[in-house]
A and B are shown apart, each in its own frame.
Chain A
Amino acid sequence: MSKKEHSKTILAVFNDPDETKAAAQSLVDKGIKIREIYCPFPIHGIDKVLGVKATRVSTIAFFYGATGTFLALLMIWYMNISDWAMDIGGKPAFSLSQNLPAYIPITFELTVLISAHLMNFTYLFTSRLFPGLNNMNPDPRSTDDKFVMEIVLDDNKKVSADDIKGMLSQTKVAEVNDSHLLYKD
């Protein structure tokens, strides 16, 4: 039980993705730190407004794919060349390079298989997604039609809650609610 779990927060609820983004930009410009924005669908460019770093999941997918290619060739080389070189139709498998064209299809399939699945698992793991976990969105409407901006007061010690609410009132905010942080940091 950390102290942060009871941190007071302001939940600003918006109706529109573009209004949400504009409001986030105006608050960030005024030096307010926004903890999170829960959205029913992605708002393009909002990650840059909040200073969220670009994801590296596609880079890692490339390395998973390269691993897949390597493992596939290693398996084929071991099974069809090293351990037991098959002689099919008088065309024995002597070396990997000579037989490579026939090995491309399976190498390709395994590259895709390993890359896709390991990337999916990485995505689920890093995004904290697992069957049965509790969801963290503080307002259930944020998976329907509301964009919920979460501002933690502890993150913004230089300004008061009223200051933040004042700044929010200048945006196209629909509701401003007091809450507290529901999950551990």
Chain B
Amino acid sequence: MNIESPIREPLILGDKSYHQITEDIVKPIEGRANKMWYLVFTISAMTALWGLGLIFYTFGTGIGVWGLNKTVGWAWDITNFVWWIGIGHAGTLISAVLLLFRQKWRMAINRSAEAMTIFAVICAATFPGIHVGRVWVVYWFFPLPNEFGSLWVNFNSPLLWDLFAISTYFSVSLGFWYIGLIPDFATVRDRQIIPFMRKIYKIVSFGWSGTVKQWQRFEEVSLVLAGLSTPLVLSVHTIVSMDFATSVIPGWHTTIFPPYFVAGAIFSGFAMVSTLLLIMRKVLNLEEYITINHMESMNKIIMLTGSIVGVAYITELVMAWYSGVQYEHYAFLNRATGPYWWAYWSMMSCNVISPQLFWIKKIRRSLMWSFFLSIIVNIGMWFERFVIIVTSLHRDYVPSSWTMFYPTWVDVGIFVGTLGIFFTLFLLFSRAFPVIAIAETKSILKQSGDAWKKKTEPDYEKMGTAEHHH
């Protein structure tokens, strides 16, 4: 039996039984969606279709419909790619790294964070796929001889590393997520009365029975997957950063990029998890599982990673100055004071200054503030990628080719479209999947549940320690 210190706040509030946990988490699957869900779903699905339409418009007409020009060859496409892939990182961080650190608060949020990872990576992978222009030969990404002749892909290239990193990350995350879902699908299966529902959940639960051997292997597999996913998630954004860092463009050519990108990814990912969970806990009545305590823990991580990102920004400035290279000097001077100063200072204020508010406990534990700041951080991190990409490119070595980047309606439309895809998938997930890991949550009820903690807390008055008061 595990007894947890009474000082630790309970992770499950209310007087819950194992059965009540099942009821609370399965309820959204069995009940009907309300009008609000249909409204938001319709808007998201329409936006997604709009984005898909614009992607096909891009295919048909060519990437000239984007705002790219001779000087700025990467802009919204890669900004969106890096932003989405960064958002995806929080899911793996929560499910893998927090598992290795035995952080039990992950259990209420890992399922939806992993779902978010998968949907974000789908959105991210869209952009490298469509930015190549000639999408009908996109299979050239893969290790095939060029046009089936003799020349192979270049294994020295970070762009190829990226392909392998993203594909591995997506498929391993999907596997990890599904392995965890099987027992919970079985829980849903075993309580269905409608034959159709029973049949569906029978198929997806793979015949799970919860035998001793199955659970033993399940736990081992989860642990090994966490061990594999942890270096994997770090490698993904490291490799994404190398798309830039291995080039010789001032503003990109820096060794600080890998850790700085990884910290930024965790930062933006946790912000997106906060945004989604704050809505989800309210809509699905899961406030007793995703508590203010959980939000506070996430806010602490946002504060920490925001500070790391801040240190990285300042390090970049110092290193540019210390390098003594005039092009480096100019790249950073131009970022802060050039025509894109507003993007740079939006990034600085959203990412470095705003999360510092989380030092104040009241703000850290306020739902309104958490929601507001999570949105601010998401905006800030989008600007970070925009600043890195566009401001480093738009004024190159030849002043006659200096230019500005203006997004077209297609650029904006495709980005908004990916938001639509993301929310459509997440809304479907919240209706058909157990959004909280049921089995894992039950396993901590007897040490981190509120009712259990009250029951097991030593009675200090009886013990004669009169000085101890609650």
Q: Do A and B come from one complex?
A: yes
In contact, A143 and B186 (Cβ under 8 angstroms): yes
Cα A99 to Cα B156 in complex, Å, equals 8
Q: A129-B182, A140-B191 are in contact. Are A55 and B175 (CB under 8 A)?
A: no
Residues from chain B with Cβ under 8 Å of A86 in the complex: 151-152, 154, 156
Number of A-B contacts (CB under 8 A): 200
In-complex Cβ contact of B172 among A43, A108, A112 (8 A) = A112
Cα A110 to Cα B160 in complex, Å, equals 13
- Residue B30, interface by CB 8 Å: no
- Residue B455, interface by CB 8 Å: no
In the complex, the 4 A-B pairs of residues with the closest C-beta atoms, listed nearest first = A133-B207, A145-B18, A140-B190, A79-B152
Complex interface: stretch among B385-393, B423-431, B439-447:
B439-447
Q: How far is the CB of B218 from chain A (nearest CB, A)?
A: 7
Q: How far is the CB of B94 from chain A (nearest CB, A)?
A: 18
Residues from chain A with Cβ under 8 Å of B171 in the complex: 113, 117
**Chain B residue nearest to A121 in the complex (CB):** B175
Residues from chain B with Cβ under 8 Å of A176 in the complex: none
In contact, B220 and A58 (Cβ under 8 angstroms): yes
Q: How far is the CB of B321 from chain A (nearest CB, A)?
A: 29
In contact, B161 and A106 (Cβ under 8 angstroms): yes
- Residue A119, interface by CB 8 Å: yes
Q: Can you add 14 more A-B contacts, CB < 8 Å, to A54-B216, A120-B225, A135-B205?
A: A43-B215, A46-B212, A47-B216, A50-B212, A55-B213, A58-B224, A84-B151, A105-B242, A109-B164, A117-B171, A130-B206, A136-B207, A142-B209, A143-B189
Within 8 A of B (CB), among A18-53: 18, 36-43, 46-47, 50, 52
In contact, A105 and B206 (Cβ under 8 angstroms): no
Q: How far is the CB of A107 from chain B (nearest CB, A)?
A: 9
In contact, B165 and A126 (Cβ under 8 angstroms): no
**Chain A residue nearest to B176 in the complex (CB):** A116
Chain B interface residues (CB < 8 Å from chain A): 1, 17-19, 22, 143, 150-156, 158, 160-161, 164-165, 167-168, 171-172, 175-176, 179, 182-183, 186-187, 189-191, 202-221, 223-225, 228-229, 231-232, 235, 239, 242, 439-440, 442-443, 446
Q: A142-B210, A145-B22 are in contact. Are A18 and B204 (CB under 8 A)?
A: no
Residues from chain B with Cβ under 8 Å of A130 in the complex: 206-207
Residues from chain A with Cβ under 8 Å of B165 in the complex: 105, 109
Within 8 A of B (CB), among A117-140: 117, 119-120, 123-124, 126-137, 140
Q: How far is the CB of B375 from chain A (nearest CB, A)?
A: 33
- Residue A102, interface by CB 8 Å: yes
Interface size range on A against B:
35 or more
In contact, A110 and B217 (Cβ under 8 angstroms): no
Q: How far is the CB of A87 from chain B (nearest CB, A)?
A: 11
In-complex Cβ contact of B143 among A18, A79, A116, A137 (8 A) = A79
Residues from chain A with Cβ under 8 Å of B167 in the complex: 109, 113
- Residue A185, interface by CB 8 Å: no
In contact, B164 and A106 (Cβ under 8 angstroms): yes
- Residue A61, interface by CB 8 Å: yes
Cα A124 to Cα B152 in complex, Å, equals 35
Residues from chain A with Cβ under 8 Å of B210 in the complex: 38-40, 137, 142-143
Q: Can you report 6 A-B residue pairs in the complex whose CB atoms are below 8 A from each other?
A: A37-B212, A38-B210, A46-B212, A79-B152, A136-B211, A143-B208
Cα A2 to Cα B182 in complex, Å, equals 29
Residues from chain A with Cβ under 8 Å of B164 in the complex: 105-106, 109-110, 113
Residues from chain A with Cβ under 8 Å of B219 in the complex: 42
**Chain A residue nearest to B187 in the complex (CB):** A143
In contact, A145 and B217 (Cβ under 8 angstroms): no
Cα A113 to Cα B156 in complex, Å, equals 19
Cα A57 to Cα B221 in complex, Å, equals 7
Residues from chain B with Cβ under 8 Å of A1 in the complex: none
Contact with B along A154-184 (1 / 0, CB 8 A): 0000000000000000000000000000000
**Chain A residue nearest to B173 in the complex (CB):** A116
In contact, A137 and B155 (Cβ under 8 angstroms): no
Cα A126 to Cα B213 in complex, Å, equals 10
Q: How far is the CB of A129 from chain B (nearest CB, A)?
A: 4
Cα A31 to Cα B439 in complex, Å, equals 31
In contact, B202 and A132 (Cβ under 8 angstroms): yes
In contact, B191 and A144 (Cβ under 8 angstroms): yes
- Residue A80, interface by CB 8 Å: yes
In contact, B19 and A145 (Cβ under 8 angstroms): yes
**Chain B residue nearest to A139 in the complex (CB):** B190
Cα A175 to Cα B182 in complex, Å, equals 27
Q: How far is the CB of B149 from chain A (nearest CB, A)?
A: 9
Q: How far is the CB of A61 from chain B (nearest CB, A)?
A: 5
Cα A131 to Cα B205 in complex, Å, equals 7
Cα A104 to Cα B273 in complex, Å, equals 32
In contact, A108 and B235 (Cβ under 8 angstroms): yes
In-complex Cβ contact of B213 among A115, A127, A134, A145 (8 A) = A127
In contact, B223 and A58 (Cβ under 8 angstroms): yes
Q: A112-B172, A116-B225, A140-B190 are in contact. Are A52 and B143 (CB under 8 A)?
A: no
Q: How far is the CB of B439 from chain A (nearest CB, A)?
A: 4
In contact, B152 and A41 (Cβ under 8 angstroms): no
Q: A131-B206, A140-B190 are in contact. Are A41 and B439 (CB under 8 A)?
A: yes
- Residue A66, interface by CB 8 Å: no
Q: A80-B154, A93-B156, A105-B239 are in contact. Are A18 and B209 (CB under 8 A)?
A: no
